[in-house]
Amino acid sequence: MIKSISANTRKPDLTFYKSGRIDISASVSKALALKKGDVIDIASDGIEYYLYVKYRAGSVIGRHYGHCFPSHPGKTQSNNMRAHSVALTDAILRIHHADVVSLPVGSPADIPALGGVALPIIIRNRL
């Protein structure tokens, strides 16, 4: 019997590390129109978790957790972003009891309570 070596070929959209680092894929960055200096946050209604932009770079005053910046600053075409927030990563890592979790996101949804576009994080589908 022949079996596939790689059970899952889907690339993760978000990766959360115990150190507080959050890696954001280019597709998520484009869907949320992330720019350097934007601040991200995660909201939950008790069932689903949503990634959204809490503050845009132009309206940010002071220092914030979840501040986004390019993960490859030397490259001019890279849309991959990175943010740091121990509070956000701890909340996600507690669900999975792990030090690193890679997750996919769903289709963008317009949620007025969060200020516009948000991406549902598929918490149960760990990659």
Better-scored residue on pLDDT, 122 or 76: 122
Residue-level pLDDT at 27: 94
pLDDT digits (tens, 9 = 90+) for 44-90: 988 899 999 999 988 888 888 999 999 887 766 678 999 999 999 99
Q: Mean of the per-residue pLDDT values for the chain?
A: 90
Domain extent listing, the chain: 14-121
Token reading at 74: 């030397």
In angstroms, rounded to a whole number, what is the distance separating the alpha carbons of residues 97 and 44? 19
pLDDT band, residue 127 (cuts 50/70/90): low
- What is the CB-side half-sphere exposure of residue 49 using CA atoms within 13 A? 18
Question: If DSSP codes are grouped into helix, strand and coil, which group holds residue 118?
Answer: strand
> CA nearest 32: which of 125, 127, 111?
111
Q: Does 91 have pLDDT greater than 70?
A: yes
